[in-house]
């Protein structure tokens, strides 16, 4: 009951914070104006306020202070969120803000989370149970906490090298995956809301199995879901506000951390985010092989191709949300090896779908009502 209440309060705080956030964004010029901020990925022609991360930040932080004990890792999460808000507001204000500098500051936010103690000590071995010629059988887990460096900086600390590096790059990767999946109204908060609920249910499962630490993780997950859906109310087509860099990265930041806290269920998060993840990998390598920088945006994401085929914003968002929900249900029911198999299957289907769009997409466009 407390978890449900936390989610509802997060939803309400985020929703109530959006109207003043819209006025704030309009007053300080934190808006998306296609004429002043031309970008090939724009999917709208109207002037729309940005800075959605402010409302999301308030929803997550204020609700967490009410329902979750203020421990070191939570302070680290809050500081990381504040860094992302600052970066996001700068990006909303400055046209052409350098994406490499933005990425550097994103590294800083991820580093703060890792320094606060959020790390991945082990991951489940997807090959567990398969015979290994040298050792007989593969271990069920792969340990990442074997190399430790002790330092004294404002008190004693330890750096678990592999665990911290894995967590660092995991957080950065997820934030980029979600940030690249906000091209149409309602798409991003719908995906993050479903993913947060999935991770929350997973944490509750482990809590019921005897892990008391998972209760607070479940609270954080449902708080994140509440903030996502609270933002979705105003971001659904036609959007009254856009998430901006801060909105998408804050929600992604929370998802990446929740995947770590919920007993390092990286495979679960990857499965729920399979469609945007595969789109991210495809887009990343497509840009590199085209001789372009992977951090500079274009109009080549899956949601852009679907828009070009005549799909509406609502239809595309529901496609992503429904896909995430179905894959989330699968993630709660199968083991790690099956999750990775499913992600691989999604990648193959995605590749086939993209090839089909590129080859026969014109045949699938909505017909012009005036062409007879």
List pLDDT tens digits, range 156-166: 666 677 788 88
Report the pLDDT value the prediction gives residue 368, as an integer from 0 to 100. Answer: 44
For residue 354 the two structure tokens come to 């993209």
Q: What is the separation of C-alpha 241 from the centre of its chain, rounded to a whole number of angstroms?
A: 18
What are the pLDDT digits (tens) for 287-304?
A: 888 888 887 777 778 888
- Comparing 58-72, 94-108, 145-159, 249-263, the range with the smallest average pLDDT is 145-159
- pLDDT category at 103 given cuts 50, 70, 90 is confident
H helix or E strand, kind and range, residue 89: helix 72-93
Rounded average pLDDT over 92-110: 85
Highest average pLDDT, of 36-45, 145-154, 201-210, comes from: 201-210
Q: Which of 9-13, 38-42, 249-253, 334-338 comes out lowest in average pLDDT?
A: 38-42
What's the pLDDT at 159?
Answer: 66
From the list 262, 174, 268, 280, the residue with the least C-alpha distance to 219 is 262
Render pLDDT for 73-84 as a digit per residue (tens, 0 to 9).
999 999 999 999
Lowest mean pLDDT among 164-173, 192-201, 258-267, 348-357: 348-357
pLDDT average, residue stretch 325-353: 78
Q: How many helices (H) and strands (E) does the chain have?
A: 13, 8
Task: Read off the pLDDT band of 154 (50, 70, 90).
Answer: very low
Does the pTM of the predicted model rise above 0.85? Answer: yes
> Using 50, 70 and 90 to split pLDDT, how confident is the model at 41?
low
Instruction: Work out the mean pLDDT of the chain and round it to a whole number.
Output: 83
Q: Are 196 and 222 in contact (CB under 8 A)?
A: yes
Band (pLDDT 50/70/90 cuts) for residue 263 is confident
Residue 155 gets which letter from DSSP?
Answer: S
Please say whether the beta carbons of 42 and 303 come within 8 A.
Answer: no
H/E stretch holding 160 reads: strand 156-160
Can you tell me the mean pLDDT for 38-50?
Answer: 71
Query: Measured between alpha carbons, how far is 312 from 346 in angstroms, rounded to an integer?
Result: 23
Poorest-confidence range of 88-97, 144-153, 220-229, 242-251?
A: 144-153
Closest CA to 342 of 269, 271, 276, 264: 271
Is 271:339 a contact under the CB 8 Å cutoff? Answer: yes
pLDDT at 169 over 80: yes
| Predicted pLDDT of residue 134 | 47
Distance in angstroms (rounded) separating the CA atoms of residues 108 and 253: 12
Which DSSP letter does residue 94 get?
S
Tokens (6 digits) for 106? 């994103």
């Amino acid at each position: 009951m407390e978890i449900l209440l936390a989610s509802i309060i997060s939803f309400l705080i985020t929703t109530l914070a959006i109207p003043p956030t819209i006025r704030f964004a309009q007053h300080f010029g934190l808006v998306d104006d296609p004429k002043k901020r031309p970008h090939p990925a724009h999917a709208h022609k109207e002037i729309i306020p940005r800075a959605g991360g402010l409302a999301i930040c308030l929803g997550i932080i204020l609700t967490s202070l009410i329902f979750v004990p203020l421990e070191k890792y939570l302070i680290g999460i809050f500081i990381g969120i504040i860094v992302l808000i600052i970066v996001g507001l700068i990006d909303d204000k400055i046209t052409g803000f350098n994406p490499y500098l933005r990425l550097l500051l994103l590294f800083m936010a991820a580093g703060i989370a890792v320094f606060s103690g959020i790390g991945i000590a082990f991951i489940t071995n997807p090959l567990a149970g398969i015979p290994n010629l040298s050792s007989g059988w593969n271990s069920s887990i792969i340990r990442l906490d074997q190399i430790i460096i002790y330092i004294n900086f404002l008190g004693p600390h330890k750096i678990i090298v592999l665990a911290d590096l894995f967590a660092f790059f995991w957080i950065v990767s997820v934030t980029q995956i979600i940030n690249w999946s906000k091209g149409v109204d309602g798409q991003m908060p719908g995906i993050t809301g479903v993913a947060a609920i999935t991770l929350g249910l997973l944490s509750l499962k482990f809590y019921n199995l005897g892990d008391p630490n998972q209760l607070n993780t479940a609270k954080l997950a449902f708080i994140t879901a509440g903030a996502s859906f609270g933002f979705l109310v105003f971001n659904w087509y036609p959007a009254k506000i856009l998430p901006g860099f801060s909105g998408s990265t804050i929600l992604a930041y929370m998802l990446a951390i929740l995947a770590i806290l919920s007993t390092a269920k990286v495979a679960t998060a990857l499965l729920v985010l399979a469609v945007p993840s595969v789109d991210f990998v495809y887009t990343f390598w497509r840009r590199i092989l085209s001789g372009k920088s992977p951090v500079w945006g274009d109009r080549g994401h899956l949601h852009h191709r679907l828009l070009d085929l005549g799909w509406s914003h609502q239809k595309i968002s529901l496609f992503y949300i429904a896909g995430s929900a179905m894959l989330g249900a699968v993630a709660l029911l199968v083991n790690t090896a099956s999750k990775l198999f499913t992600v691989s299957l999604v990648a193959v289907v995605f590749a086939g779908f993209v090839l089909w769009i590129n080859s026969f997409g014109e045949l699938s466009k909505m017909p012009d009502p005036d062409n007879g």
